[in-house]
Amino acid sequence: MDVIVSVDDFRTAARRRVPRWLFDYVDGGSYAEATLLRNRSCFNEHPFLPRVLRQIAQPDTTTTVLGVKHAFPLILSPVGMGGMLSAAGEGAAARAAADATLSMCVSHFSIASIENLARTVDPARLMFQLYIFRDRAITADMVRRAWDAGVRTLVLTVDTPVTPLRERDARNGFRRLSRLSGRQICQMAFRPRWTLGVAQRSERVIGNLVPYSMGRTLFEQAATISRSLDPAIGWADVAWLRQLWKGQFVLKGILHPEDTERAAGIGADAVILSNHGGRQLDGAVAALETLEANVATAAGRLEILVDGGFRYGNDIMRALTLGARAVMVGRPWAYALAAGGEKGVRDLLTYFHEGLQSGMSLLGADRIQNLQEENYQVPV
């Protein structure tokens, strides 16, 4: 029996439960994985300066993100093919988030379709992540489907003009093969509980792509995706999408303050500072390192969210003291889903919430707004 008290413990448990090729797909980064490591190490550069004797018994962690109330400022990030990690699928993560009064951003490449997930939970608790395809009719149809499902927040990912080398995926044959290899099947044989659980599911392909004839199997779809996405999108395409979408509009993958300025000018409601979990440009800065500059540029015109390397409640607190509205986590919920299904994700969210509450008490902050109104950072 695994004793799980941290995100690292969820990760260890996940590694024991899913095939190596699937674990590496979730866990790995691009090239030398320098940015993946930087996403964690950068937290050490922002020590706290706590206050004491403030009579804080129970900090108030509630907040709103894009007008939606949250029990605390955390959102589940999109994880492509995340539903393959457990027979419970993405629906389990969506339920866990909604029941905790949080939200989930559904991946364009989720196993469960946006329609199925919107029937699982209140769609007000869902955001939908979108990529722009070469065939704009597919993109426009996905926008329509998300809206018709009741989703009101669209998240356009803008940092993936190409997919770089991810050495772990290359060694495992992921994205290169149109069907399972003998090596992958062998790895699955050593994970019988996962294999039997997933085999019994009705959903075993990328649900959002089924209407567009991109392959009959998950591996065929994965091989088709890289050829189908538009590598040359620009601000004109963002403006087109902003006009097409009637709800809240968010850009994910921003790091430079000048891009935040462009996003504000084009009518975005928020940006998500992100280096795609260290899976795109290796050597890029961590999103946390650009947070203060982007908050200053936004100047209250749009909300600033941030992801990358968040593993503790104190990490959430760091981002909030630097001006973030909320943080997003991807790998942690993927590990938790693989390790324990829906209960695993629920336990993960409790872990983050309790960590944030205790951190705020120790810091001397009685509410979320207080984290941004007072200076809890060591002067540079």
Nearest Cα to Cα of residue 19 among 165, 163, 193: 193
276 is in an annotated binding site: yes
User: For the chain, how many structural domains are there in total?
Assistant: 1
Q: Report whether 309 belongs to an annotated binding site.
A: yes
Residue 219 in marked binding region: no
**How does DSSP assign 60-95, residue by residue?**
B--EEETTEEESSSEEEPP-TTGGGG-TTHHHHHHH
Tell me whether residue 46 is one of the annotated catalytic residues.
no
**139 annotated ligand-binding residue:** no
Residue 308 is assigned to a ligand binding site: yes
Q: Is residue 1 part of a domain?
A: no
In a domain, 375, yes or no: no
Residues whose CB falls within 8 Å of the CB of residue 262, separated by 6 or more in sequence, listed in order: 235
Is 131 part of any known ligand binding site?
yes
Kindly state whether residue 379 falls inside one of the protein's structural domains. Answer: no
CB 182 within 8 A of CB 156: no
Q: Domain span at residue 362?
A: 7-370
Per DSSP, 198 falls in state H
Crossing angle of helices 331-363 and 20-27, in 10° steps, is: 40
* 32 three-class SS: coil
Token readout for 289 is: 């390192």
Q: Is residue 190 included in any domain, yes or no?
A: yes
* Residue 178: predicted pLDDT: 64
252 labelled ligand-binding: yes
Locate all alpha helices (DSSP H) within the chain, ordered by sequence: 7-17, 20-27, 34-41, 89-99, 114-120, 136-148, 167-172, 182-189, 192-199, 218-228, 235-244, 257-265, 287-298, 313-321, 331-363, 368-373
Task: Report helix, strand or coil for 149.
Answer: coil
Residue 376 is assigned to a structural domain of this protein: no
Residue 163 lies in a domain: yes
Catalytic position from the list 46, 70, 108, 276: 276
Nearest-CA neighbor of 172 among 27, 62, 292? 27
pLDDT value of residue 177: 62
Domain-embedded: residue 266: yes
Task: Decide if 106 contacts 119 (C-beta within 8 A).
Answer: no
Q: What are 206-226's pLDDT values in tens digits?
A: 999 999 999 888 878 988 888
Helix crossing, 20-27 with 182-189: angle to 10°? 100
Please state, in angstroms and rounded to a whole number, the distance separating the CA atoms of residues 12 and 2. 9
166 is in an annotated binding site: yes
Structure-token pair, residue 310: 């968040």
Beta bridge partners of 328: 75, 307
State the pLDDT at residue 204: 80
Beta bridge mates, 271: 251, 304
CATH code for position 201? 3.20.20.70
340 labelled ligand-binding = no
What is the share, in percent, of the chain residues with pLDDT greater than 90?
Answer: 83
* pLDDT at residue 175, as a whole number: 65
- Please check if 129 is assigned to a binding site: yes
| Integer-rounded Cα radius of gyration of the chain | 20
3 state DSSP class of 106? strand
Asked whether residue 377 is assigned to any structural domain, the reply reads no
Q: Which residues of the chain have pLDDT under 50?
A: 1
Return the sign of the alpha-carbon dihedral for residues 151, 315, 276, 208.
Answer: negative
